[in-house]
Amino acid sequence: MKVLGYVRCSTDDQALEGVGLEAQRARIRAWSDLSGADLVDIVEDAAIGGMVPLAKRPNGIRIEALLSARSPEVDAVVVARLDRLGRDASETLAYLKKFASGRVGLVSIADRLDLSSPQGRAMAQMSAVFGELERNLIAQRTSDALTQLRATGRVYGSIPYAFKGDGGRLVPDQAEQAVLARISVLRDEGTSYAAIADRLNRDRVPAKRGGIWHAMSVRSVLRTSARIAVPTTNAAVA
């Protein structure tokens, strides 16, 4: 049986044991040796997230082409884990149906995937669902962690406008707090975000990194500061 290996690794995945590109290649080669399959090639998509559609990846498109080819060059595609195809359950299930009914089969080593049996197809569907669940849980945990950091006034990511970092905690930047107070007053008076940005730019008030203000940056500054549990000054810029 001729097979084509496919490996993918997102930036986050590269730090996880057993998910790096070389680890995936080694697993595919070992499986091919043990099963007696003819490994034609291994193609890779490096630094590509699992939510990027297979057909929009540099080498994922090659897998997509195999599924629609009348005379495919290989008998099956081999992946180390099913989530290397993708982390979106609906897309993964759609591809599983194509593999199950098409000319090219699919082997997922870690999942022990066997699309030739009803049990194997059921397990594949469950793996896809749990892959998406894992992604959603990670996103929720990240969001909760950021919310907790903001609520306790600790540094998280880039320092927000009107604050500065001091020993891992956010403390008010008095000059920017004064600008924030001015923005708040103007907004309370009904001034639009765009008009506030124009006024700040006209008065040569720099944005966080010395750039110019835009309507969306004014809106973001107000919303972010409202979520940070750090006392602010009531001073306003005349």
Q: Which residues, 6+ apart, have CB-to-CB distance to 193 below 8 Å?
A: 187, 215, 216, 218, 219
- Asked if pLDDT for residue 209 goes beyond 80, the answer is no
For the chain, what is the mean pLDDT? 79
| H/E segment holding residue 78 | strand 76-79
What is the set of domains in the chain, with CATH numbers?
Answer: 2-142 (3.40.50.1390), 163-226 (no CATH)
Q: What percent of the chain has pLDDT over 90?
A: 32
* pLDDT for res 94: 83
* pLDDT for res 224: 77
- Asked if pLDDT for residue 18 goes beyond 70, the answer is no
- Render pLDDT for 119-171 as a digit per residue (tens, 0 to 9): 655 666 666 666 666 666 666 765 565 556 555 555 455 677 878 777 667 77
* pLDDT for res 103: 83
**How many Å apart are CA 197 and CA 201, to the nearest integer?**
6
- Asked if pLDDT for residue 230 goes beyond 60, the answer is no
- Render pLDDT for 67-116 as a digit per residue (tens, 0 to 9): 889 899 998 899 998 889 887 777 888 888 888 777 888 888 987 876 64
CB 209: neighbour CB atoms within 10 A? 7
pLDDT confidence tier of residue 207, bands split at 50, 70 and 90: confident
* pLDDT for res 131: 66
30, two tokens: 């070992």
* C-alpha pair distances (Å), 60 with each of 28, 66, 89, 196: 17, 10, 17, 46
Under the phi-then-psi rule, with left for phi > 0, alpha for psi from -120 to 50, and beta for the rest, what region is 214? beta
**How many Å apart are CA 129 and CA 90, to the nearest integer?**
8
Q: Check residue 167 and report its DSSP letter.
A: T
